[in-house]
Structure 1
Amino acid sequence: MPRNRLMNVFTLLAAFVLVSLAMGMVVAGLALPALGAAGKATTSSIKMFNDLPGDFQMNPLAQQSRILAADNTVIATPYNENRIVVPLSRIAPIMQKAQIAIEDERFYQHGGVDPRGLLRAVASNQLSSSGVQGASTLTQQYVKVALQDEALSSGDPSAAQQQVTQTGMAGYVRKLQQLKYAISLEQKYTKDQILDGYLNLVYYGDQVYGIEAAAQHYFSVPASQLTVAESALLAGVVNQPGTTDPVNNPKAAIARRNVVLQKMLDQGYITQKQFSDAVNTPIEKMLKVKDISSSCATSKYPYFCDYVTQWLRQQPALGATVKQREGALKSGGLTIKTSFNPKYAAVLDASIKAKVPVGNSAKVDAAGIIIQPGTGLILASGQNTKYSLKPGAGNTTVNYTTPSGGNGGVQIGSTAKAFAVITALENGYKIDSSINLPTYNGKAGNKGTIPVRVFTHSQFSDACGLGRGDPPWLVGNDVYVPPHLMSLSQALGESVNTAFATLGSGVGVCKIADTMTKVGLVQGAGKPLERVPSGIILGSNDVTPLTLANAYATVASGGKYCEPRPVSQILDSNNKAMPLKVSPCKQVMSKDVAAATTKVLQAVFDKNGTAENAGLAGGRPAAGKTGTTDNAVQTWFVGYTPSLVTAIWVGSISTNTHYLTDLRIGDTFYKGTIFGGTLAAPIWKTTMDTILKGQPIQQFPQPSDSMYDDPSHKNDPNWVNTGSIIEGKNMRSYSGYRSTNDGNSSSTNGDGSGND
């Protein structure tokens, strides 16, 4: 059909639609009557109109989600379209009037199609245009943009382009379809609902959609607080957002603003004084631009943000697949409430970087994490790096604290000894049980100068011990510790490797490994622990700070294991809580064993303990354990109070050959070996003292008398034992006061794990 004939057909149809509208003949079904007097072309056009779909729904809009800290400050705003949907009641009335004034001054008089504007378009053969002759009502514009947005959201850019086709038959059909949809929309929804949908939907330039995001972006205010000048400026952007947004095109934006203001004055929405004041307001005095990024990279807490988004990808409530969950996060208008405490994070981050600066010349890495016992909620994290993909000292996108983003963890050293204590207490040993330190019967080191205890298959006979074909296990201490009776608490406090190797052979490596598993210890992002003596007893397994801290939180909470998580609640776009996939907390050890373990772990702060100078201010009760791997590649301190667990790691994330010996870190030179008590423990103390300052002092639950061999001596530090002495797999009885020259002070500086 020739183009001029096509135009005549559609012009006839448009004219017929106008007549039908005027006579009320477009009924609820949105069909035009087939009048007998109509010509052939008109009859065909009526059939075409009636065949067009007529049902149109206002669907939910894609909008940004928000990841919030515990104090409701924004951590990040993931989005595909930067939009915040708000009800009309939260949009300033003057903004509503400004948009109507410039886009559709008869909005409240027509039924979706404006006969005057449409008649002008018909008369000038501009029916397919995008409102050049005033044919498009605000309702029609809503339909056009909504259809385009729906097509883009479904991944169909060609369908989206069709909604703005201007010429040819496609343009006429599109315009008539939108016209029919507009009439349908007006029959189903009120004017306020349509205006609300429009203001939340349309693009306001500079990557912001909807009036709320636009108000916050350009003026740093909510839409409810927009002024006359601000409203006119934003209303003017919608028609040509690519060339009139005030950030990139300030002159065009001002010119367009003034056109809107004149319309508002002409239509009686503002007074002459309001008009003059607004017209004379310079744009530079109006703009207070606030950029909102969808990327964690620009968040103040990028590493935690990354971890949250990865955690959310595992939540079924957000969708059946990872792709669907990511879509919900970026377009579902979710509110993700995390447990992250910015004040705690600031203290932790500052404490770490004060001791181990970003990009230090010694190339030493450091990180820390804080967990709430009894919930598994992550309260803070920090590390001495800058979030960046660019090469450079201290730059990385890897989160050192959590099992995500490529972090496989590092060896945990003597922090593993806490789990041997738990296992011993669960298997009949007592707080005041003593270990008979074995004699050294071998030497190690390049020159064979380091005395060691040689452990063989006969001393580890369970399935996780040394096999018959395995070489002997050589266990040494960081300093010479002569053979003598040593209490369990003293052995823990001074971190004596030979004592714990002896304990492990008596309790059983498999049992200790089972204890580690039930408190959630795994390697890296989930690989099971290596169930061998060196890994289980002295910590040669690679574990992340989050996993290790949460294992200690199980003890701090009275034996209750809770799966670690960063999110406390997810709300959908209607503020309805969504279900979280989180395993329920479970009691994995008795409260009495947990209390007894805490009692033993408090020895780390005793005189000659490996963290004797890290006790908390004011005598606040705390417990914990240092850790140092072979050659001091990795060092740790994990400590807790009844309310907080903090794990600090200092070492090398990428190598097991970067020894922490004779190093200048920042302004301080550390002569000799850097142990867990050298840097990690002081960082922990500074962090905990600062956070807990002014808070009530909480006491740990005390273990029952049944956890002692002789409760009458439970507070006597010189009483060695009144029952069992651990000698590998054997026990014997002894009671009395320990010798004052038993050599117990010789391991003052020692803590090493001896990962041989």
Structure 2
Amino acid sequence: MHERATDLGKVVSLLGAFVATAMVAGILAAGLLIPLAFATGRTAAGGVKMFDDLPGEFTAAQLTQQSTIKDARGGILATPQQENRIIVSLKDVAPIMQKAQIAIEDSRFYEHGGVDPRGILRAVASNAQGGGTQGASTLTQQYVKLTLQENALRNNDEQGALAAVRKSAARKIQEIKYAVTLEKEMTKDQILQGYLNLAYYGDLAYGIEAASQHYFSIPAKKLNLAQAALLAGLVQNPGKTDPRNNPEKAQARRDVVLDRMRVLNIISDKELKAAKAIPVKKMLHLKNPLSNCAASSEPYFCNYVMAYLKDTSNHALDALGKSEPERVKNITGGGLTIQTTLDPVVQQMALKELTQRVPIGNTALPRAKGDTSKSGRTRFVGAAASIVEPGTGRIIAMVQNTSFPRSSKDTGVAFNQVNLNVDSKYGGTVGQHFGSTAKMYAIVTALEHGLAVNGTVPSKYANKKVPALYTPQEQGPCGSQDVWKVRNDESIGGKPIPFRTATANSVNTAFASLVLKLGVSNVRRTMTTMGLHQGNGAPIECYPSPVTLGSSDATPLTLAASYATLAADGKYCPPDPILSITTADKKPLKIGTNPCKQVIDKDIARGTTELLKEVIKNGTGKAASLGSRPAAGKTGTTEDNAEGWFIGYTAQLATAVWIGTPDSQSSLRNLTLGGRSYGDIFGGTLSAPTWRAIMLGASVGMPERPFGDPSQKVLNGDRISVPYVSGLSVADATTQLKNAGFLVQVAGQTGSNLAQGLVVYTDPSGTALRGSTIGLYLSSGYTPAPPPAQTPTPAQTQTQTPTPSQTKPGRKKKH
């Protein structure tokens, strides 16, 4: 540490000499116009007293510096900032840079005590002799001036900022007092460090580290002589000498610094010559800061993170501030390091798999030439996928098939600023119709009401052309005033269907009948409990169609997090993109944990998974199979094939894939997309294989974990006796069966001697699951006569080996 050369008394004495000299010369010296009051000896003592009475307490600037947003592996995604500044300690600044800055600004920095009397007198003499205006401010004084200006700007005090740099006697004398006081409170190295971090180096680079990164793409500790001289020369007039915009002036100024360093014997003649020989233009390796998300490698995710951090309804981040302006100030000026959950390897893999099947900026073409139908018009097909971690809500990846526009030239369907994965308040959308993925919530509600996995569900008959009709009375309180028409993709229904079959084949009428039996509002409550909502934040609409068939809007991230509840044995975790936040001094910011909550019983979650496994094993989602890795999920296709979904999960990951037409409700039919032709596109034909590819890639290195098994009660239910109702009317039989705890449906007719319309038998009979549907088979009113006996032929009378026969013919499944 260098010894200070002067104390306050000596400075004041020398200041008096400067005052006298300045008055004799009658000039402006170093920006200091000495008032006439100091001209007489009588007032000299008063001037010294006035100096002593000036405020001396000085507060160093709380510098704003850029924050850094990183991915889960440490890669930088963005550097949100008010100013491009990175604060570093002096040990992280190359010694040659320190010497260059001192040489050109204040060569006696380590010898004076904040004010350099020799420099003042030299400036006075030079100016008096007509040598031009020569400044006398020390590096400490410059640090004081810059600090006062910075503090005023931080307080939005524009007048104070102007006053900090105004040329006036009062301001200069106060600056001197602060400088002298500061040298008593800070070491020389602390002052130099503060100056190097505070100084402006042009082209929006504040502080030596940001300047070094910006102009040379290296840290300040690696600066060489030529680079150090170039930067040291900028602070005097950064607006006119920055090397990016004024390379010739920058080079001239650099050479002045080099010459000064040679005069002070800091460098040799050889070093001087070698440094001057390098053209400034060849020295530059410009790197612009990732000051906003548009410059990020992951702009959609970056924008989402910024919006998430500013969301004051998220109280886990209250340490950032209670108001949005306070949070913005800390995020852009607090020097925070924000570690996110995004895995860049999984992110790039997911983007590749998604865009191979639904290319960026695609214009889907009609499959057949000359097709002028509405379904065959050329249009853009969008796609998006979100991956979350069950049990934590961490967002592992978030991709879509558009590019973020970075200039006014980036236009057309290939470019889009809107994040297709997230809610509107985070820069996303209101969502898309989510189709039959809604049926998962009916399953959860049904199991909670006692229906068993191996039970049956009621179902009206319907096919593509003939809908089942549900009256307003059947729809209940959340219904509409109109008859609800529900179609199936195959001819099925009219009697109870095994719950596994209804789920695997996504039978619309089975779930419509089930939801109405359970109550639309009850299933909707399950949706809300499991985190499902529209992209505008509102709950799913309380009507049969949105709750049963997903004719309401939701986003991929919302659905992925909701389905992850099942993988986490009933624990719902809101989507969370933040791993940690550390302050500028490397201390963890105390942020709350993600508010995960057990929202459904573990046994119910496992029972739901048992049914959703059937979708992949035997149903509409076969194309999503992960081989030996256990997985469950649900397809979703909206009316007229406008949207296709697959949402599924393993024990470790949950992923939602959406493919559709974001700007219209035109159908996904007869398209050529990604080099492949399609007829009708369902959730199982394009979204499911895309989900499979993404999940296989994301699961690399993960063990194959089985799901937990549901209990026998959830699997087989609470079996109770089925009342004997043969011979009763439908009304009487229904009353007895409902009183016993069953649902009832007329399932068909059979030959019988009982009067027409009376119940002959039930299916099942004996015992059945409490709450399951009992099918009634009614008498046709007659018993068909047996067929006439046939006389056997000689060949038929020969002894033959009997062949087994089925009591009921087998039914071929339609997928």
TM-score by length of 2: 0.80
- Tell me which of 475, 483, 486 is aligned to 1:475: 486
- Report the alpha carbon displacement of residue 508 of structure 1 after superposing the two structures with TM: 2.3
Tell me if 1:454 matches 2:483: no
The C-alpha deviation readout for 1:411-439, integer Å capped at 9, x for no partner, is 11100111111111122111111224323
Question: 2:70 maps to what in 1?
Answer: 68
Question: 2:658 maps to what in 1?
Answer: 649
- Tell me which of 391, 405, 411 is aligned to 2:427: 405
What is the 5 A alignment of 1:13-162?
Answer: 15-16=15-16, 39-43=41-45, 45-46=47-48, 48-123=50-125, 132-162=133-163
Tell me if 1:310 matches 2:320: no
Tell me if 1:394 matches 2:414: yes
Whole-Å separation in 2 of the counterparts to 1:103 and 1:721: 99
The C-alpha deviation readout for 1:180-199, integer Å capped at 9, x for no partner, is 11112111111111011001
- Tell me which of 422, 429, 432 is aligned to 2:451: 429
What is the 5 A alignment of 1:296-375?
Answer: 296-314=293-311, 315-361=317-363, 362-375=379-392
Question: 2:524 maps to what in 1?
Answer: 513
Whole-Å separation in 2 of the counterparts to 1:738 and 1:200: 89
Whole-Å separation in 1 of the counterparts to 2:807 and 2:458: 12
Tell me if 1:576 matches 2:583: no
What is the 5 A alignment of 1:595-606?
Answer: 595-606=606-617
- Tell me which of 603, 612, 617 is aligned to 2:622: 612
Whole-Å separation in 1 of the counterparts to 2:513 and 2:173: 87
Q: Is the 2:646–2:656 Cα contact (8 Å) retained in structure 1?
A: yes
Q: Is the 1:592–1:704 Cα contact (8 Å) retained in structure 2?
A: yes
Q: Is the 2:77–2:290 Cα contact (8 Å) retained in structure 1?
A: no
- Tell me which of 455, 460, 469 is aligned to 1:438: 460
Give the 3-state SS of the residue equivalent to 2:103 in structure 1. helix
- Tell me which of 280, 283, 294 is aligned to 2:291: 294
Q: Is the 2:58–2:182 Cα contact (8 Å) retained in structure 1?
A: yes
Give 1:306's aligned amino acid.
Answer: N
- Report the alpha carbon displacement of residue 323 of structure 1 after superposing the two structures with TM: 1.3
- Report the alpha carbon displacement of residue 13 of structure 1 after superposing the two structures with TM: 9.6
Tell me if 1:177 matches 2:177: no
Whole-Å separation in 2 of the counterparts to 1:625 and 1:551: 13
Question: 1:383 maps to what in 2?
Answer: 400
Identity among equivalent pairs (%): 45
Give the 3-state SS of the residue equivalent to 1:396 in structure 2. coil
Give 1:421's aligned amino acid.
Answer: I
Q: Is the 1:370–1:380 Cα contact (8 Å) retained in structure 2?
A: yes
Whole-Å separation in 2 of the counterparts to 1:370 and 1:88: 43
Whole-Å separation in 1 of the counterparts to 2:14 and 2:159: 26
The C-alpha deviation readout for 1:185-220, integer Å capped at 9, x for no partner, is 111111111011001110111111111111111111
Give the 3-state SS of the residue equivalent to 1:237 in structure 2. coil
- Report the alpha carbon displacement of residue 306 of structure 1 after superposing the two structures with TM: 0.8
Give 2:700's aligned amino acid.
Answer: K
Question: 2:714 maps to what in 1?
Answer: 707
The C-alpha deviation readout for 1:231-286, integer Å capped at 9, x for no partner, is 12211111111222222222222222222223223333334443333233333443
- Report the alpha carbon displacement of residue 51 of structure 1 after superposing the two structures with TM: 4.7
- Report the alpha carbon displacement of residue 82 of structure 1 after superposing the two structures with TM: 0.1
Q: Is the 1:425–1:431 Cα contact (8 Å) retained in structure 2?
A: yes
Q: Is the 2:201–2:238 Cα contact (8 Å) retained in structure 1?
A: yes
What is the 5 A alignment of 1:130-279?
Answer: 132-166=133-167, 171-279=168-276
More off after superposition, 171-180 vs 131-140 = 131-140
Give 1:667's aligned amino acid.
Answer: G
Question: 2:565 maps to what in 1?
Answer: 554
Give the 3-state SS of the residue equivalent to 2:397 in structure 1. strand
Give 2:122's aligned amino acid.
Answer: R
Give the 3-state SS of the residue equivalent to 2:191 in structure 1. helix
Structure 2: unaligned runs, 5 residues or longer: 1-10, 21-37, 312-316, 364-378, 720-762, 778-805
Give 1:396's aligned amino acid.
Answer: N
- Report the alpha carbon displacement of residue 726 of structure 1 after superposing the two structures with TM: 9.6
More off after superposition, 494-503 vs 114-123 = 114-123
Whole-Å separation in 1 of the counterparts to 2:340 and 2:649: 22
- Tell me which of 656, 661, 670 is aligned to 2:669: 661
- Report the alpha carbon displacement of residue 160 of structure 1 after superposing the two structures with TM: 2.0
Give 2:671's aligned amino acid.
Answer: L
Q: Is the 2:350–2:697 Cα contact (8 Å) retained in structure 1?
A: no
- Report the alpha carbon displacement of residue 704 of structure 1 after superposing the two structures with TM: 2.4
Give 2:203's aligned amino acid.
Answer: D
Whole-Å separation in 2 of the counterparts to 1:571 and 1:110: 39
Whole-Å separation in 1 of the counterparts to 2:260 and 2:246: 21
Give 2:215's aligned amino acid.
Answer: Y
Give the 3-state SS of the residue equivalent to 2:107 in structure 1. coil
- Report the alpha carbon displacement of residue 18 of structure 1 after superposing the two structures with TM: 5.8
Question: 1:522 maps to what in 2?
Answer: 533
Give 1:230's aligned amino acid.
Answer: Q
The C-alpha deviation readout for 1:327-373, integer Å capped at 9, x for no partner, is 11111111111101111111111222111122222211111111011
Distance 1:485 1:189, change over 3 A: same
- Report the alpha carbon displacement of residue 484 of structure 1 after superposing the two structures with TM: 4.9
Give 2:547's aligned amino acid.
Answer: I
Question: 1:754 maps to what in 2?
Answer: none
- Report the alpha carbon displacement of residue 518 of structure 1 after superposing the two structures with TM: 1.0
Question: 2:441 maps to what in 1?
Answer: 419
Give the 3-state SS of the residue equivalent to 1:625 in structure 2. strand
- Report the alpha carbon displacement of residue 665 of structure 1 after superposing the two structures with TM: 2.5
Give 2:93's aligned amino acid.
Answer: I
Question: 1:715 maps to what in 2?
Answer: none
Give 2:86's aligned amino acid.
Answer: I
- Report the alpha carbon displacement of residue 580 of structure 1 after superposing the two structures with TM: 2.8
Whole-Å separation in 2 of the counterparts to 1:118 and 1:740: 111
More off after superposition, 539-548 vs 53-62 = 53-62
Q: Is the 1:66–1:74 Cα contact (8 Å) retained in structure 2?
A: yes
Give the 3-state SS of the residue equivalent to 1:624 in structure 2. strand
Give 1:16's aligned amino acid.
Answer: G
Give the 3-state SS of the residue equivalent to 1:386 in structure 2. coil
Whole-Å separation in 1 of the counterparts to 2:598 and 2:272: 69
Distance 1:323 1:721, change over 3 A: farther
Q: Is the 1:482–1:742 Cα contact (8 Å) retained in structure 2?
A: no
- Report the alpha carbon displacement of residue 319 of structure 1 after superposing the two structures with TM: 2.1
Give 2:673's aligned amino acid.
Answer: I
Whole-Å separation in 2 of the counterparts to 1:710 and 1:359: 51
- Tell me which of 488, 497, 509 is aligned to 1:498: 509
Whole-Å separation in 2 of the counterparts to 1:628 and 1:329: 41
More off after superposition, 684-693 vs 551-560 = 684-693
Distance 1:587 1:121, change over 3 A: same
Whole-Å separation in 2 of the counterparts to 1:738 and 1:502: 30
Distance 1:176 1:93, change over 3 A: same
Q: Is the 2:495–2:775 Cα contact (8 Å) retained in structure 1?
A: no
- Report the alpha carbon displacement of residue 386 of structure 1 after superposing the two structures with TM: 1.7
Whole-Å separation in 2 of the counterparts to 1:244 and 1:684: 55
Whole-Å separation in 2 of the counterparts to 1:141 and 1:17: 22
The C-alpha deviation readout for 1:78-111, integer Å capped at 9, x for no partner, is 1111000011121122211111111111111111
Give the 3-state SS of the residue equivalent to 1:495 in structure 2. coil
Give 1:266's aligned amino acid.
Answer: V
Distance 1:37 1:228, change over 3 A: closer
Larger Rg: 2
Give the 3-state SS of the residue equivalent to 1:96 in structure 2. helix
- Report the alpha carbon displacement of residue 543 of structure 1 after superposing the two structures with TM: 0.8
Question: 1:23 maps to what in 2?
Answer: none
More off after superposition, 431-440 vs 277-286 = 277-286
Question: 2:277 maps to what in 1?
Answer: 280
- Report the alpha carbon displacement of residue 302 of structure 1 after superposing the two structures with TM: 0.8
Whole-Å separation in 2 of the counterparts to 1:247 and 1:723: 86
